[in-house]
Amino acid sequence: MASKIDFKVAPPDTVLREIGARVASARLQQNITQAELAEKSGIAVRTLRRLEAGQGGSIDTLIRLLQALGQADLLDVMLPQAGISPMQAIRTSGRHPTPRSRARKKAIKATSSWSWDKQETP
């Protein structure tokens, strides 16, 4: 049994190797050679070999491979459509809520710095 990877903390090179192994596994499960999958997805065989070896690739390559393997629906699972948050819906009650188009800077809380001069004596 393969070890489970915690994608939240795994280093990128570990994630790349796992993605490559999963693409290779999906390809073999469908009994497709590297040359056949490369041709079907419109990429070079060398590109597929590098990706399966965990040596990286582009998002374009991954999309092409998932489509060729009939697994493009996994893209929606990987990054679902962002909706309006419940808090945003409450703040815009009475108005038609729209999805966010910008992110705000986080407010920095002002903290009073402690110093020896401010120490009280009994």
Strands (E) in 1-122, as ranges, are none
Residue 24 within any structural domain of the chain: yes
Residue 120 within any structural domain of the chain: no
Amino acid residing at 4: K
pLDDT digits (tens, 9 = 90+) for 12-41: 999 999 999 999 999 999 999 999 999 999
| Residue span of the structural domain in which 22 resides | 12-77
Residue 110 within any structural domain of the chain: no
CATH code for position 29: 1.10.260.40
Number of domains in the chain: 1
Average pLDDT over residues 95-122: 68
**Mean pLDDT for the chain overall:** 85
Distance CA 119, CA 69 (A): 69
Query: Which carries the bigger pLDDT value, residue 118 or residue 82?
Result: 82
The answer to whether 49 and 24 have CB atoms below 8 angstroms apart is no
Residue 1 within any structural domain of the chain: no
Amino acid residing at 54: G
Distance CA 13, CA 63 (A): 19
> E strand or H helix at 51, and its extent?
helix 45-52
